[in-house]
Chain A
Amino acid sequence: MNRNKNINTIGLLLLGVAFTLGSCGDNESEDNVPATYEFLRNGESTVSFSGQTTRILMAEELATALLDFDKSATDLQEMFANEDATGGDVSPFVNESLNSETKSIRSKVAASRDLFSTNATGSAAIKTQMDQWIAAQVSDVFPNENELAEIGKAGQIADGSSTRYINGKGLEYNQAVTKTLIGALMTDQILNNYLSPAVLDEGTNIEDNNVSKVVEGKTYTNMEHKWDEAYGYLFGKSSSVANPLADLGADNYLNKYLARVENDADFSGIAQEIYDAFKSGRAAIVSEDYNTRDKQADIIKEKISDVIGIRAVYYLQQGKKGIEAGNLGTAFHDLSEGFGFIYSLRFTRDAGSDSSKFSDDEIESFISQLLEGDGFWDVTPATLDGISESIAAKFNFTVAQAAE
């Protein structure tokens, strides 16, 4: 700081300003962007996303049921699909209002327009993988409820004062299912479906939106509604639609992990950036400015992809710490969460690109490195570092930033 002060001070000062502005999120001040996510037409709210809230609630019940040892494989599968094996109606939920729904979690898994409309094979493979985890929880883990887990043997393992239930390789199937849903349901639907021009502009959406033609019997245009449905997969359980950041962490899925990333000092501000982009993009739809809309969508795609990437690396690094400290139960729990987030990487998106940030082969390679041999029981810190580095290389954060 003492040397070359004259020359460098001004430059550093400018750099400082640039840094401050650049990293803290610049707000494009659009005149018509409201202070909160509140949009009205003739005095009535045009924001609606009940279907998204419904699926979040279903997914939360499923998460609880995956650790209910009295459940059968059929019970769990019916919660996942909200229908029986022959497509018949079922009532698997505790929350009665969910039972009257025809919506389901499973039908929206790996079901986005951009990534899966011409990839039914890939979509089916992911759904089937999740079916298998759910079935294996009941067939492999439940019978060993009162056994201590060992290498190659499912059962209990202590994680501090918590008890985790793992398969023979150390994986908690319930974590695999729930953390994969964050990608396969929420992230995929937001990034690759509802924020996609293919969905937003479908049919006569642009013409209708340009003349404020609302969906029959509704207060919103089709395009507005699609955008709100994206919003709903992130904020569908928040107590305030307009101010969802007030209770960030409102669900056990994407919202919760956005809160986690927000609470990492390296990434604080990300929740506001995502919220602001949703708000500006929605306002742009109202003012028929589709370029701005898509620019805001790109911000959301990038930031939500970051959340998935950061959490994947975070859990791999926490797992590494646990293994090094000899806390296997803690390590396996972290690695199980990381395992699901790695699957979720499949649904991340590079803004401007028409495909995922990660190919199926890349994901499979990470997974097979984690599971080979005795799985988590003998995975090495070097392997976990290697996967972490490969993931971080696709993002603008470092392993060290994500790790703590």
Chain B
Amino acid sequence: MKALISSFLIVLLVLSTQSCGENDISEIDIPNDNFDRGALLTDIADNVIIPGYINYTTDLANLDLMANNFSTNPDAETLFQLKLEFKNAYLSWQSVSMFEIGKAEALALRNNTNIYPTNTSEIEENISTGEYNLALPSKIDEQGFPALDYLLYGVADTEEEIVKYHSENEKARNYLTDLTSRLVSLTNEVKEDWVGDYRAYFIENDGSSATSSLNKLVNDYIFYYEKFLRAGKIGIPAGVFSGNPLPNTAEGLYSEEYSKTLFLQGLNAASDFFVGASTNHDEIGESLKSYLDYLDPDGNALSEKIITQFEEIKAKANELDDNFVTQIASDNTKMLETYDELQKNVILLKVDMLQALNIKVDFVDADGD
């Protein structure tokens, strides 16, 4: 009887908790795990972030060079070279996009680099007036890779006409090189900070408070995964949030062949980061995976689940067309299925992993107004 009453009571309490949404107010203290967060941060800095920025700034320098070449001598050959460097730099950007911490955060690097869809009417107005301040927050959708994508692929229908457009429009060529030089200068600032003082600060801030390096970085990682990889690259164009597909919000809209490549690069970077694979793929360091395994030496269940899920996403994504606009038009279900696979890892990373690591989410869904 006692047992019966007790269990009834528990059922009742559970019921009232669920139906009335009482929050669990018990705060669990930071666990005294002895995992070496400093070693983890060192590996992340030295194997992943810094080489990632070095690759990216190198590619950006080439992009800027080729933009200037094209601007001086706009023809089919210089446009071809410029497009190659555009693709290289856009891809290496995907490997560092998630690290919006330190100087990158202060400069809002991601917002100034890859906000799409880009605002073509504002871009055209900027070009025609020649008056624009790209440092203003309201200008983030008039610059970066999506704006370059438009200038290199979208201002006319054929390659010939695109060359012609630029040859006859000095202001457009100026805009082009302004865009590449802004990417270069912003990113150099971030890279210089990392190879300068920030690396040591990042590694030494190895505690477990909300402002510790790991807590912040893991939050940045999940924020990137949820908002940019899952929603930005797949969910929004597939219409997950709007009801109807929005193909014009796909990444790489004007080049018409890179949306899948860009997505896969971002996805691989996210899964590499989880397992601790270095940017140059020559070693495996400490990682979120090794941290989770350390906390659960017998099971390894969670890290394996996350890795398996990354593989599921990749398998699903490989079925997609290179151009998501085409994919959405022919069979949007495949996009939605990819989204669903991505979503499964949101749960594992944001709920299960954060609970295991005792890290609190430091961002909320935007209010939407």
Contact = CB atoms under 8 A, between A and B. Distances in A.
Contacts, number: 85
Given A146-B133, A158-B108, A13 B5 contact: yes
Contacts of A160: 111, 366
A266 B135 CA distance: 41
A382 interface: no
A20 B5 contact: no
A269 B20 contact: yes
A268 B9 CA distance: 22
B21 A265 contact: yes
Contact of A325 (B23, B115, B362, B369): B362
A246 to B, nearest CB: 16
Interface in B136-157: 136-138, 140
Contacts of B133: 146
A40 interface: no
B19 A24 contact: yes
B369 A252 contact: yes
A146 B132 CA distance: 9
Interface stretch (A2-10, A26-34, A47-55, A347-355): A2-10
The secondary structure that dominates the A interface is helix
B115 A19 contact: no
A303 to B, nearest CB: 15
Interface in A140-166: 145-148, 156-163
Contact of A156 (B9, B20, B138): B138
A401 B137 CA distance: 33
Interface in B352-369: 362, 364, 366-367, 369
Given A13-B5, A266-B22, A23 B137 contact: no
B186 to A, nearest CB: 14
Contacts of B25: 400
Interface in A173-225: none
Q: Which of A1, A161, A269, A337 has the most CB of B within 10 A?
A: A161
Interface string B1-43: 0100110110011011001111101000000000000000000
A393 interface: no
A301 to B, nearest CB: 22
A5 B23 contact: no
Contact of A266 (B21, B111, B115): B21
Given A6-B2, A9-B2, A158-B111, A20 B9 contact: no
A161 B140 contact: yes
Contacts of A158: 108, 111, 137, 140
Contacts of B115: 161
A332 B15 CA distance: 39
Given A20-B19, A160-B366, A9 B9 contact: yes
Contacts of A334: 367
Contacts of A10: 5
Interface of B: 2, 5-6, 8-9, 12-13, 15-16, 19-23, 25, 108, 111, 115, 133, 135-138, 140, 362, 364, 366-367, 369
5 contacts: A148-B136, A156-B136, A160-B111, A337-B367, A337-B369
Pairs A-B, 4 closest by C-beta atoms: A265-B21, A158-B137, A163-B138, A16-B12
Interface of A: 1, 5-6, 9-10, 12-13, 16-17, 19-20, 23-24, 145-148, 156-163, 252, 256, 264-269, 318, 325, 329, 333-334, 337, 400-401, 404
